[in-house]
A and B are shown apart, each in its own frame.
Chain A
């Protein structure tokens, strides 16, 4: 890791790590007797670990100038490993809390193990830990390949990766201790939020610097999506997390918005975290890895453009569909609903563009589980976006909102679309980055694929059933005009579905564990002679773009 840095970069890294350590110490000191104290020490520890790692490798030979004629793939490898670790942790916690809803005492009799504290570990671990690391790792890969340029320096990618994971660790350890803002998908407190802004700026600048070095006149569509992901997430994160800490020595802050305005800001954020974290970034992944694996150019350049700008423009309006029939003014609800329905057009254009790319390569989909992961991802993307537009229609929402139907919808997206495309990308990347012919076991990729698909189906069908049952029971009247069921009646009716859901989640988790094992085995050292060639920035003629639309 340190051996990839030049001496100058090692010095800067030492300064940054020391600065982080001092920052941690200051927080720990000012937050004495507060929950901030352990987090201060955690940051101190992270800084010291950085210093230790750098000093440990300080006298390693510097990388020579020949590095500049190759891609910088070390951080991508680490990012993939981190993504898989987060996946295992967060899916385990997710399945655990799923069992808790069927058997509520299936926990140690402890404060930290309640559903309310574990649930954000699952959501943060999956979205930011698993998804975020996968996005960062793949974006490092895609930005270099589509630009035919090496990352501009060695230090910034490491800083982005390490800094981002520090944020994730602060988040999940905070929930265990009871540190949370309660804003869904934005639970971490002010100091963690602040840190993420610094990391994010470095990430954005890194992206622009890489693009500036490109040897391609045009910026490939994947990069548009990654750029939108970075920029809009920054905007959302900053606005939604505007808060006033009660003091510099406390982990607690109060968000500056209140009531109805806060609700609107929160769901403007919440839904656009879906839009720009879980959709835009992942479409960037899809637009690169699917055509590469299929060996086919993207079906349509024009559809890419319409899809991209449609998604970027429409998505931002739709957050208010989370607040139908609430105290939010009706005009905002109506705008949210209208744009949600319109959003189906660019969403399906993007999904169709991906699937039509497979024309002429469907035999590969049949034979290659990696490509099949990507195909299924595109299908689930289409399904989930259709369902999303449908659920945003006000009368439909009156039934579905507050129920498990929402959970079914979210997991059709996260399991069927986000996870599948990540696994597809990882199975494409791992052999290439570790210079192997193929994965350790293609059969295990196949096993993983079917476990993932089966788990997703069981999960989603269970939650569809429970959600619609719940929604109907809550609004059923008996002959004398009274509500027919108590709330507890509906809860009892959920029990079998909650078991089925937890079982589906377990299948998916086992699939991920199989994948992690396979990746681990693929990473094991092999003799240099058996390694495949690395792909290099400039090989062959420059006049023809690497990826070109079919038209």
Chain B
């Protein structure tokens, strides 16, 4: 073994090829089957996609680096299930490009934060977290409420995601701008189309409390309020297994 290495280390190309081969095996064995083994991702018929407004909110979540302190992945541990809700399923992030499972909880997990707090609470909290949680160390984001949301490029966003396999329809892509506006301005004529395209259960309201302008706050709160609610697969699973005790 050492004799043959004594030879190998005299050839730079040979060494390079050997490194590539040796370093490729682990990745191939662990990653490739995740695309082929059917059970990797559960079935969730009826799971809906993010609305354009929620997608824009998700991109703000990414932009601000929220994932650095908040996970979106409830592990299969009793205390996590009791603290945050049913453990996360792979299917719940099947449309997430990229996933935001996170790696650190300086703040709590957000996988099921949707519907847990009112819009009002979320807006106050994002504006200055210490107004509602005095001990919080989260940064304040007062500019979100002042900043108009960019919605003109949302059709491109949806079209790109569709190319990657997210089931947006032609109708959804074509009406992305109108839907983003309508979801945050409930009295506008655009509001009606949102529920038609994304389902009756879709939240259509002025998330930031002000129906005048569609702000980044609208988008981010809309996103936070849908977290964990795109499908009820995890709750069904819990009903079957009785959770973790």
Q: Which residues of A contact B (CB under 8 A)?
A: 34, 100-102, 104-105, 107, 109, 111, 114-117, 119-120, 175, 178-184, 208, 211-212, 217-219, 224, 227-228, 231-232, 235, 239, 244-247, 250, 252-266, 268, 276, 301-302, 305, 309, 312-320, 322-329, 332, 335-336, 339, 398, 401-403, 406-407, 474-475, 477, 483, 487-488, 491-492, 498
Beyond A254-B164, A259-B90, A403-B104, list 17 extra A-B contacts (CB 8 Å). Answer: A114-B141, A116-B68, A116-B69, A179-B63, A183-B98, A219-B9, A258-B94, A258-B95, A259-B91, A261-B40, A305-B5, A312-B19, A315-B23, A317-B29, A325-B75, A329-B34, A491-B137
Q: B97 contacts which of A235, A258, A319 (Cβ < 8 Å)?
A: A258
Contact for A322 among B69, B103, B141, CB less than 8 A: B103
Nearest-neighbor residue (CB-CB) of B160 within chain A: A246
Pair A258/B64 contact, Cβ less than 8 Å: no
**Smallest beta-carbon distance A6→chain B, Å:** 25
Q: Chain B residues with Cβ under 8 A from A208's Cβ? A: 12-13, 16
25 contacts between A and B (CB under 8 A): A111-B143, A114-B65, A114-B141, A115-B138, A182-B67, A231-B20, A232-B19, A232-B23, A244-B160, A246-B157, A252-B59, A258-B95, A259-B99, A260-B40, A261-B40, A263-B101, A266-B99, A268-B27, A268-B31, A313-B25, A327-B89, A327-B92, A406-B104, A474-B79, A491-B137
Instruction: Please judge, given known A-B contacts A105-B140, A316-B26, A325-B75, whether A257 and B97 are in contact too, CB under 8 Å.
Output: yes
Rounded to whole angstroms, the CA-CA distance of A403 and B75 in the bound complex is 14
Is B213's beta carbon under 8 Å from chain A? Answer: no
- B174 at the A interface (CB under 8 A): no
Q: In the complex the two chains form, is B9's CB within 8 Å of A178's CB?
A: no
Please give, as numbers and ranges, the residues of chain A lying within 8 Å of B34 by CB-CB distance: 260-261, 264, 329, 332
A259 proximity list for chain B (CB < 8 A): 41, 90-96, 99
CB pair B106 A262 closer than 8 Å = no
For the complex, what is the distance from the CA of A115 to the CA of B20, rounded to whole Å? 37
Interface residue from A117, A228, A317, A475 paired with B30 (Cβ < 8 Å):
A317
Most chain A CB inside 10 Å of its own CB: which residue of B30, B62, B159: B30
Instruction: Give chain B's interface residues, CB within 8 Å of chain A.
Output: 2, 5-6, 9-10, 12-13, 15-16, 19-20, 22-27, 29-31, 34-35, 37, 39-41, 59, 62-69, 71, 73, 75-77, 79-80, 82-83, 87-108, 129-130, 133, 135-143, 153, 156-157, 159-161, 163-166
10 smallest A-B Cβ distances: which pairs? A116-B65, A316-B26, A317-B26, A325-B75, A114-B139, A259-B93, A327-B90, A178-B63, A402-B105, A260-B90
CA distance A219 to B11 in the complex (A): 8
In the complex, how many angstroms separate the beta carbon of A505 from the nearest chain B beta carbon? 16
Chain B residues, Cβ within 8 Å of A228:
19, 23
B135 touches A491 (CB 8 A): yes
Q: How far is the CA of A183 from the CA of B68 in the complex (A)?
A: 10
Residue of B nearest to A97 (CB): B68
CB pair A324 B12 closer than 8 Å: no
Distance in Å from the Cβ of B215 to the closest Cβ of chain A?
14
Query: Which of B15, B66, B83, B135 is within 8 Å of A116, CB to CB?
Result: B66
Determine whether the beta carbon of B9 is less than 8 Å from that of A475: no
Decide: A212 near B12, CB < 8 A? Known: A258-B95, A259-B41: yes
